[in-house]
Amino acid sequence: WVFLWEKGYQETDSVVSSVTTKVKGVTLTNTSTLGAMIWDVADYVIPPQEENTVFVMTNVILTLNQRQGRCPELPDDETECKVKNNCVPGYVSTHSNGIQTGECVPYNSSIKTCEVFAWCPVEDDYHVPKPAFLQEAENFTILVKNNIWYPKFNFSKRNILPTINSTYLKNCIYDSQTDPFCPIFRLGKIVEAAEQNFQEMAVEGGVMALQINWDCNLDRAASHCVPKYSFRRLDNKDSAHTVSPGYNFRFAKYYKDSNGTESRTLVKAYGIRFDIIVFGKAGKFDVIPTMINIGSGLALFGVATVLCDIVVLYCMKKKYYYREKKYKYVEDYEL
């Protein structure tokens, strides 16, 4: 077990890794609010670069042309009002879009809400677009470049293997059966490999893990040290976790007109964050662990004899029979 399965004759080392990513893909949307609009990498990868992570926006709530001013708050149990006395000047809660002015103003023809000083009009995110705004994102691809190093053995390699040429790299897509070493992954396939539905996940977002395993036996040729890819969903998505599902955040794009008036477009972005997780270990023959494990094995032979004697002489049903055979009783003739 120690020598053959656990390779007790080897010195081991943990992997040191770096990861860079590049997403590609273009899609077209056509809505009554925005009209026909092209979305490319600069629009949906936010931010452009992160450490071992890439976020791809798949759904969005846009609040256009916001300016600082006074406007009605979104209606809920705390903000709906009948008269001015229902609103408290200066009041702000955790979920407020602004600071109340103390006025009660019409939100629509049937509802009045407390007026706030805020970026107006305030964001209405009660209804998440379904299907996802960028549902074509499942056809986007991500190139993962991974460099690894084992310091003890001064061994380094990358997941773009020496056998991969530029022509192959431009045309391949990862497939566990036909292209297991292609470093370009289709987003829909990543989610599918984790037994998830991309279109469902795209609506409210989520977190996926792209795992790269480098387990290398350096007693063999370096060409045998190759990456193994696997995929899983990291955030919980089941009936027991229905509160605040998915993954989203907000950011804004700011503008100034010729008069110097500032406005912004508020973006609530839903999407999938892909975390690239690299792990593994390498082993290589070394005299010291070999001698240590040989010594430990020889010592265990001595312990095994004692343990067997205890079991046979004290625990088994025929312990008296074994005792008679193990020990020979002799008489002292002098007595």
pLDDT > 90 fraction of the chain, expressed in percent and rounded = 67
Q: Is 52 marked within a binding site?
A: no
Residue 291 pLDDT:
80
Nearest-angstrom CA–CA distance, 211 and 159: 12
Question: Does the pLDDT value for residue 332 go beyond 90?
Answer: no
- The annotation status of 23 as a binding-site residue, yes or no, is yes
Share of the chain above pLDDT 70, in %: 95
- For the chain, the structural domain boundaries read 12-66+122-284, 74-119, 286-326
Q: What is the pLDDT of residue 3?
A: 65
Cβ atoms of 43 and 182 closer than 8 Å: no
Residue 207 marked ligand-binding: no
pLDDT tens-digit readout, 65-105: 999 999 999 998 889 999 888 899 999 988 899 999 999 99
Would you say 61 and 132 are in contact if contact means Cβ atoms under 8 Å apart? no
Evaluate if residue 227 carries a pLDDT over 80: yes
Mean pLDDT throughout 215-235? 93
**Is 228 annotated as belonging to a binding site?**
no
Q: What are 17-74's pLDDT values in tens digits? A: 999 999 999 999 998 888 899 999 999 999 998 989 999 999 999 999 999 999 999 9
Which CATH entry fits the domain spanning 12-66+122-284: 3.30.300.10, 2.60.490.10, 3.40.50.11810, 2.60.40.10? Answer: 2.60.490.10
Is residue 7 part of an annotated ligand binding site? Answer: no
> Token digits for 131?
């299907």
The pLDDT of residue 297 is 76
- The reported pLDDT for the residue numbered 62 is 94
Q: Secondary structure of 223-265 in the HEC alphabet?
A: HHCCCEEEEEECCCCCCCCCCCCCCEEEEEEEEECCCCCEEEE
Q: If you average pLDDT over every residue of the chain, what do you get?
A: 90
Contact 217, 8 (CB under 8 A): no
Token pair of 285 as six digits: 């023959």
Contact between residue 15 and residue 153 where contact means Cβ atoms under 8 Å apart: no
* Cα angle 228, 233, 234; round to 5: 105
* 73 sits in which H/E element: none
pLDDT at residue 335 is higher than 60: no
Supply 55's token pair: 């976020």
106-161 pLDDT per residue, tens: 999 899 999 999 999 999 988 999 999 999 999 999 999 999 999 999 999 999 99
Tell me what the mean pLDDT of segment 214-230 comes to.
93
Residue 27 β-bridge partners: 39
Measured on CA atoms in the order 220, 223, 224, 229, is the torsion positive or negative?
A: positive
Region 269-283: what's the mean pLDDT? 95
22 is in an annotated binding site: yes
Per DSSP, the residues of 9-63 read TEEEEE-EEEEEEEEE--EEEEETTTEEEEE-HHHHBSSS--SSEEEEEEEEEEE
What pLDDT does 300 receive?
74
Q: What is the pLDDT of residue 193?
A: 95
Record the tokens describing residue 321, joined without a space: 């029979």
What is the Cα–Cα distance from 16 to 214, expressed in whole angstroms? Answer: 10
- State residue 241's pLDDT score: 63
